[in-house]
Structure 1
Amino acid sequence: MIKLTLKDGSIREVEKGTSVYEVAKLISGRLAKEAVVGAVNGHTVDLSFEINEDCELSIYKFEDKEGAHAFRHTSSHIMAQAVKRLFPDAKLAIGPAIDNGFYYDFDTEHKFIPEDLEKIEAEMKKIVKEDLSLRRFELPRDEAIEFMKAKGEDYKVELIQDLPEDEVISFYEQGDFVDLCAGCHVMSTKAVKSIKLLSLAGAYWRGDEKNKMLQRIYGTSFPKASLLEEYVTMLEEAKKRDHRKLGKELKLFALLEEGPGFPFFLPNGMVVKNKLLEYWREVHDKANYVEVETPIILNRKLWETSGHWFHYKENMYSLLIDEEDYAIKPMNCPGGMLVYKTDLRSYKDFPMRVGEIGRVHRHELSGALHGLMRVRAFTQDDAHIFMLPEQIKDEIKGVCKLIDEVYKTFGFSYHVELSTRPEKSMGTDEEWAHAENSLREALEELNLEYKLNEGDGAFYGPKIDFHLRDCLGRTWQCGTIQLDMQLPQRFELSYIGKDGEKHQPIVIHRVAFGSIERFLGILIEEFAGKFPTWLAPVQVKILPIADRHIPYAEEVRSYLAECGIRVTIDERAEKIGYKIREAQLEKNPYMLILGDKDIENKSVSVRSRDIGELGSMEIQTFADQVLSEIKSRSLATKFDAKNDSEK
């Protein structure tokens, strides 16, 4: 007998050679029905895996990340099998599971069209009904290469040849289909109940523009039809909220072929962007940050000192100036180090909280560009905190609280992830251990739950990432805190300590919005373009009913503008119903509909974008309410809907 320690700490004794699936059946019939994969001592395995020694055992369902990944990985294999049945000449590239779905890249002379997706989806459903078992097997390296060559799968041969010599080369077989794969998978195709193929795209082999362009098919899958329906409904809502569509309709920004990945901000978009930055400065002034600005272009020597020239050069834009190499900055950190060195520093100066609204440029593959979410030029709300070792924990806690305040202002919930030392890194084991422990202890003292991401830190230090959740349940990585004991060393930063000697400071790199552009894209989709009043490009739209009402509209506009409210007039010779519909499409928070009675009573008839008609009221009353809403940065209209006659 062997002992299995389960997730809840309980211990089960089973016969040696018992499979993970059989253990699930022993626990409960429902668990066996819902189980997707298991994990033995932290290593994910198929349900068919036989356990031969004492171990820690976890069993994952679709709701678990590991379960969903294996479920959708199997779905990608089912899709590849369907494509091979329908288009036998198609060559297979890669087909991983991704967040909320899966994709597979194919090399075929046939140009896929939307109608093909329907055929492939139908064939996938046949494969599911065939209840094909998935069987894992391994081959020696040479045999694996010959096996794939015999099938004409050139891309698989290349993948095998690039694997380390000691790598186990495994395959999964389902019926007449075999794919090179590390796993894991569900036990049978019948588990994949609900499938939907979503879209087509182009993708360079291995993400390299120099390689051949392949055809990528995206899809998703769920164990229940109801879950798929919910997801498809969410996608439809996401389409309506697509920031690229709304950005164009609301004249916020433009994406032009003259600058792929370099967005153009239009007047309306600049209003929103500047309001975000105004808020950022207010929050940071309150938290005792000072603001600096560093150059966009700096020479190669700087980037060699920082390590970016060796670790990040493929993502940097470089140029030659006066026969010397320069680079456009991909991040603000090195410039921040130089700012620190402009003066002698003392321990009494710490903590030094230095913020920068910095313009940065990073080379992204053209296929990865996506509206404002993935660009090549963006504005980062950076800050660097220089401190003593004993101040680390308090400063990290302070940053966590600041980021929490920022996200709550926009109504976002979030979760936290702690990322540790990556394979490519600078620094000693002791430095990394100290840095990681400091971050961990700060999170624990704040009672912030976090997920551990082993090996996903920056090359110069561990980090805390904040993933905010939007109204559609999607998550976005925005805020980050990175503890750095490497750049201070590389730039030879120092301060005079209490003992009169030179010491090296500790540095925190952190952002709250992350990228202003990306954060704005998220906000557009979160609010569906209906910005709260304080952010709206036009807060009040005045709609005179007839030309004779325009002079009074000008009076109202002047009064509101003097109060600091962003206001415009629609002077077009159109019917008032048309003007109201247009203003509603522009998503202006408030409309003032002015006619004869309004002139006579020196009042305004107010219509809310979100509530509808609010009735008639004095101009000052309206202005005071709007200004109160703006000052509080309210996310919802909190207007007093009572008209004057009711008061």
Structure 2
Amino acid sequence: MEPIGVLNDGQIYDLQTAEALNIQGEVIKADNSKESLEILRHSCAHLMAQAIKELYPEAKFFVGPVVSEGFYYDFKVESKISDEDLPKIEKKMKELANAKLPIERYEASREEISQKFNSDELKQAVLSRITDDTLTMYKQGDFEDLCRGPHLPNTRMIRSFKLTRVAGAYLGGDEKNEMITRIYGIAFFDKQELFDYVKMLEEAKKRDHRKLGTELELFTFSDDVGAGLPMWLPNGARLRSKLEHILYKAHRVRGYEPVRGPEILKSKMWDISGHNANYSQNMYYTTIDEQQYAMKPMNCVGHIQIFKNSLVSYKDLPKKLFEYGVVHRHEMSGAMHGLFRVREFTQDDSHIFCTQDQMKDVIFEVLEFVDAVLKLFDFKYEIEVSTKPEKAIGDDMFWEKTTKGIMDALDEKNITYGIDEGGGAFYGPKIDIKILDAIGRKWQCGTVQVDMNLPSRFEAEYINEKGEKEQPVMIHRAILGSFERFIGILTEHCAGEFPFVIAPTQVIFVPIADTHNEYAKELQNELLQNSMDSKIFNMNESLNKRIRMAEKQRVPMIVVIGDEEVENKTVALRDRRKREQSNMGKTEFIQMLNEINKGSEI
């Protein structure tokens, strides 16, 4: 395979940059590795921009980075571009790729580039974000752009690509700026990889939780209420409540104590925690009695105050507090996406206060809890350790010691993990749980974060064996991450076919005639007494149509009731998941459903 770059100390360099800066390292080949795909996709973004420039000569370009789902470019044109225009842009991209244009790197002074793009306000905006005096440009054919790279040597290597969607984006991600156009795309070296990815995208469209959420009447959004503020409809609220109850019991049997913190705290608390200095752009503020307050973006500060409320002995540790905590975060309008990114959400949040000696055992116990929950919903998962981010509190010694402690704990149990450089929380390193859904997508959900900064800042203490005050280790922990995001992921994972234990409606009764309604209501009441939800489809439609309507609701079980069932106190059961039909007595039926529910205990 052809060499396309060099990997040195975790940094990717294309061949031109490596030669210019005399950089040696591991050779990157065109082999669909993570590093090779980054080079390919960066080059494909420029190829897309070149095609757009030829089709829309007035186009001006902002930035075109590689992202987890491929690449995108932000730009503006006078014409309105929609998804229908993507095939035309793809066709032009293929022409340019077939022209086998060399991709050339050259350096220029800041002044030269500023002069070159003196009438391009988007390029001037890019320049304002860069402090270097000497900058790099990449050129292919008539197209050139300010860029650090890395890029392929030639457009001939860009063969298997697809533009996936058009979106709007605020310039520089700032809502105060103008809205410009963004086009997303994907590229692979291997044609089969692209085919498989496109197939996955098609399946993802069918599973889109926003579409299914509307069809199954789970949740809704309203511009009148506000963007990013989901409203849970009865079906969705029942599903969510079942999930909450399963987790509540699982917490209690593991020794967690429920607590509840306020949703708004004085701003001085966020000064102490470091949120005002490191997270203020994501927070909402207000003034009460001439004092500044902030809506909580996280639950940790309230839990520290609850821990400090009483004298804690070393015999009380580890002390596990948990809350279904409602938090608010100021997300950009362009970033919000159904339940995946919202401005108000509820975390299945916990903070565990322990000694340093207990830290490993606490981490192992949390990972066991995570494993039990994810197995219940048939999720596979991966683990990553996230290290110190650019914005952080605490000295380097704290970060090195704590990060090493996490890795040592995982190594001790032979737990495989990856490294997410710079992905830690601003107050400490963390273990991130990445779940894999039914069509192979990876999602960030649960997290375990080790923190000695916040206990120190808030002077949280316990009485040790010597009768002296000592600072505990604080472990931030969420398993689902948030109910909103997890339910969105779960909806797509199971395509709306929710497991029986959390299905909004677990059984639909279909009485054949009005004379069978009373027995259907009797069954419905008995299920409700056993904490199970059902509906009766006795509308004025034919039996076959009502059964088809029930099927579309994706309920686990449908029960048809006729004369024989009323007379013998039985049910004619259709198990949609097992594709089986059976007859059984009422008592046996309810006992069977209770056994299924018991199987959900974690």
Q: Taking structure 2 as the reference length, what is the TM-score of the superposition? A: 0.96
1:203 pairs with 149, 159, 169, which one? 169
1:310 — aligned with what?
Answer: 277
1:359 paired to 2:326? yes
Could you tell me how far apart the structure 2 residues matched to 1:41 and 1:337 are?
39
- What 5-or-longer segments of structure 1 have no aligned partner? 1-30, 636-647
SS in 1 for 2:480: strand
1:131 paired to 2:100? yes
Q: Report the CA distance between 1:171 and its aligned residue.
A: 1.3
Q: Is the 8 A contact 1:546 1:573 kept in 2?
A: no
Letter in 2 for 1:76: A
CA deviation digits over 1:280-300, x for unaligned, max 9? 112211221111100111111
1:177 pairs with 143, 149, 152, which one? 143
Deviates more, 1:301-310 or 1:138-147: 138-147
Give aligned pairs, total: 600
Letter in 2 for 1:315: N
SS in 1 for 2:75: strand
2:584 — aligned with what?
Answer: 617
Give aligned-pair identity as a percent: 44
Change (3 A) 1:58 1:347: farther
2:41 pairs with 52, 72, 82, which one? 72
Q: Is the 8 A contact 1:91 1:108 kept in 2?
A: yes
1:146 paired to 2:146? no
SS in 1 for 2:117: helix
Q: Report the CA distance between 1:430 and its aligned residue.
A: 2.1
Letter in 2 for 1:155: L
Q: Is the 8 A contact 2:6 2:12 kept in 1?
A: yes
Name the larger-Rg structure: 1
2:209 pairs with 234, 243, 246, which one? 243
1:37 — aligned with what?
Answer: 5
| Structure 1 residues 221-620: aligned runs within 5 Å | 221-257=187-223, 258-620=225-587
Could you tell me how far apart the structure 1 residues matched to 2:220 and 2:203 are?
22
Q: Is the 8 A contact 1:544 1:553 kept in 2?
A: yes
Q: Report the CA distance between 1:52 and its aligned residue.
A: 9.5
Q: Is the 8 A contact 1:42 1:56 kept in 2?
A: no
Could you tell me how far apart the structure 2 residues matched to 1:54 and 1:419 are?
27
Task: Give the aligned CA root-mean-square deviation in angstroms.
Answer: 2.0
1:189 paired to 2:155? yes
Change (3 A) 1:500 1:222: same
Q: Is the 8 A contact 1:145 1:161 kept in 2?
A: no
Change (3 A) 1:455 1:602: closer
Could you tell me how far apart the structure 2 residues matched to 1:597 and 1:497 are?
70
1:122 pairs with 76, 91, 95, which one? 91
Could you tell me how far apart the structure 2 residues matched to 1:452 and 1:625 are?
45
1:214 — aligned with what?
Answer: 180
Change (3 A) 1:348 1:611: closer
Letter in 2 for 1:175: G
Letter in 2 for 1:509: H
Could you tell me how far apart the structure 2 residues matched to 1:428 and 1:562 are?
56
Q: Is the 8 A contact 1:41 1:55 kept in 2?
A: no
CA deviation digits over 1:456-481, x for unaligned, max 9? 21121111111111011111111111
Could you tell me how far apart the structure 2 residues matched to 1:266 and 1:586 are?
15
CA deviation digits over 1:530-565, x for unaligned, max 9? 101111111111101122222332333334334443
1:23 — aligned with what?
Answer: none
Could you tell me how far apart the structure 1 residues matched to 2:41 and 2:351 are?
41
Q: Report the CA distance between 1:106 and its aligned residue.
A: 1.1
- What 5-or-longer segments of structure 2 have no aligned partner? none
Change (3 A) 1:348 1:552: closer
Could you tell me how far apart the structure 2 residues matched to 1:527 and 1:307 are?
39
Q: Is the 8 A contact 1:533 1:634 kept in 2?
A: no
Q: Report the CA distance between 1:191 and its aligned residue.
A: 1.5
Letter in 2 for 1:91: K
Q: Taking structure 1 as the reference length, what is the TM-score of the superposition? A: 0.89
Q: Report the CA distance between 1:169 and its aligned residue.
A: 1.3
Q: Is the 8 A contact 2:6 2:24 kept in 1?
A: no
Letter in 2 for 1:116: D
Q: Report the CA distance between 1:626 and its aligned residue.
A: 2.1
Q: Is the 8 A contact 2:377 2:499 kept in 1?
A: no
1:91 — aligned with what?
Answer: 60
Q: Report the CA distance between 1:424 and its aligned residue.
A: 2.2
Q: Report the CA distance between 1:484 and its aligned residue.
A: 0.8
1:641 — aligned with what?
Answer: none
Change (3 A) 1:40 1:564: closer
Q: Report the CA distance between 1:363 and its aligned residue.
A: 0.5
Change (3 A) 1:52 1:249: closer
Change (3 A) 1:615 1:387: closer
Deviates more, 1:401-410 or 1:243-252: 401-410
Q: Is the 8 A contact 2:30 2:189 kept in 1?
A: no
Q: Is the 8 A contact 1:495 1:505 kept in 2?
A: yes
Deviates more, 1:237-246 or 1:557-566: 557-566
Q: Is the 8 A contact 2:509 2:537 kept in 1?
A: yes
Letter in 1 for 2:211: K
Q: Report the CA distance between 1:250 and its aligned residue.
A: 0.9
